[in-house]
Amino acid sequence: MVSQSLRSRPLEIKDFFELAREKGIELNEARTRHQYKFLWTYLTNCILGLWLITMPAVVTYKSASLVLSDIVSGVLVILIEAISFSPCRAMVRWLTPIIGCWLLFAPLAFWAPNPVVYHVDTLVGCLLIAFSFLIPGMPGKAGLDLPGPDKPPGWTYNPSSWIRRWLGIALSLVGFLIARYLAAFQLGYIAHAWDPFFGGSSEKVLHSVVSRSFPISDAGFGAMAYILEMISGFLGDRARWRTAPWMVVLFAILVLPLGVTSITLVITQPTIVHHWCGLCLIAAVGLLTSVPLAVHEIIAMGQFLLEAKREGKNFWRVFFMGGTVSGGGQPDPDRRGYSLAQRWVASVQGVTIPWTVAVQLVIGIWLMARPDVMRIGTVWSGDADQFIGALIVTIAMIATAEVTRQVRFLNIICAVLLLIAALAFSRAAPLVLASEIICAIVLAVVSIPKGRMLERYGAWDKYIW
């Protein structure tokens, strides 16, 4: 009843500058006050710049390119922080997090021979991003809050709340630690890569033709993406779906393509490399879990931008500076008295696993494991099962998010592909043929029901079928 009444009320969207004028805020004065409050971050970044400049004097880099990279990066950081010290040039500070991202990438681009350089550049890059952007907030916004609802209009929860973000941040941290360990092996810092399930199989995957085809360490690049994903999870306030839409898009750019890349690399393990990497699978599962946790915020942000466009607001102004909604939405509940169980439920609101989706996951996992469990049939049938199984798991994981439950219909296509593969490659192995046909039929049947929905999503409800 509450969501219906909220949707029936007319909405009014005001952007950042309209709110500032309405409240009589002089932006230049507010930016000056905000800057003086965080002057210490400018000094801290200058110290980090000096650290980079002096690093080659105390550490043997074994790479002239990395020496030049760190010295130039340090000089640029000091110049940027000095120039942006004036409030009228605050936007120049956008360049500091860009240099931070370069420091995360440089040891991979130049295959850092010394692990100390790799780890110091990674740490300094993260700190530069934190002190220039994460802690003081978006340059030019003066740290001003945008009053308004936390929950999107018609929604029963807030997809941007901190309790909804912590799990994605934690999964990103786990992924980073795993990817950094695997990168240490690829870069030659450690002699062996431990695998919890498959013995020395991980080393064959990490030094496979697929891994060597990348110009940089693919595990190192994954570590960089994970750490940026974790940092982006901390960006913005608890209503960033409307106060900072671009931050939500940045988070989506890091989570969704990384998820697709991860599942692609998992598919290549049994089909091309013919070996498994246990830690890679753990990281991939964590990443796939973070996808359904993230898509809700993207939907809410898209609804807000679409409504702003309908009201004739400047799209890019709202996209970068945010705004507020009146006529709908509610504040977040006070969770200080919540039990651990209640906090867990709140952290995964909007993500459910009805039995039909659970069956899809089981079928996908079985198909991925089948060639190793039933060592019969042709190589083609095994590759087909593992390829299609990985697709089924990916689709089913995305379908655990209620806002994207409709993607489950793609598993009907997977069922058809599985049936075709069974008839083409498995006729000489009756047990494999029977397994594939049964899985295809069951998969098609369980991909039709939507399952029970626990939450409401305003205007998006009509697209969930």
What DSSP line would sit under 229-240, residue for residue? Answer: HHHHHHSS-TTH
Contact 241, 297 (CB under 8 A): yes
Q: Do 445 and 313 share a structural domain?
A: no
pLDDT at 455 over 90: yes
Strand partners, 7: none
Name the pTM for this structure.
Answer: 0.89
- Distance separating alpha carbons of residues 13 and 315, to the nearest angstrom: 12
Return the SS3 of 324. Answer: strand
- Of 5-14, 256-265, 331-340, 412-421, least confident by mean pLDDT is 5-14
What is the rounded CA–CA span in Å between residue 175 and residue 195?
Answer: 15
How far is the C-alpha of 140 from the C-alpha of 143, rounded, in Å?
8
The more confident residue out of 269 and 126 is 126
Q: What is the domain extent for residue 438?
A: 355-463
**DSSP secondary structure letter of residue 155:** B
Mean pLDDT of the chain: 91
Residue 14 resides in a domain: no
206-215, 326-335, 355-364: which is most confident:
355-364
**Residue at which a domain ends, from 94, 127, 143:** 143
DSSP tag of 459: G
Using the predicted structure, report yes or no on whether residue 188 has a pLDDT greater than 90. Answer: yes
CA distance 367 to 439: 8
E-assigned strands of 221-293?
Answer: none
Q: Residues of the chain with pLDDT > 90: what percent?
A: 68
Domains in the chain: how many in total? 3
344: domain CATH number is 1.20.1440.130
Q: Domain check: are 332 and 366 in the same one?
A: no
CA atoms within 13 A on the CB side of 311: 18
Last residue of a domain, one of 301, 325, 351: 351
CA 462, distance to chain mean position in Å, is 26
117 falls within a domain: yes
Residue 138 confidence (pLDDT): 86
Q: Do 210 and 248 fall within a single domain? A: yes
SS3 11: coil
| Domain identity same for 172 and 115 | no
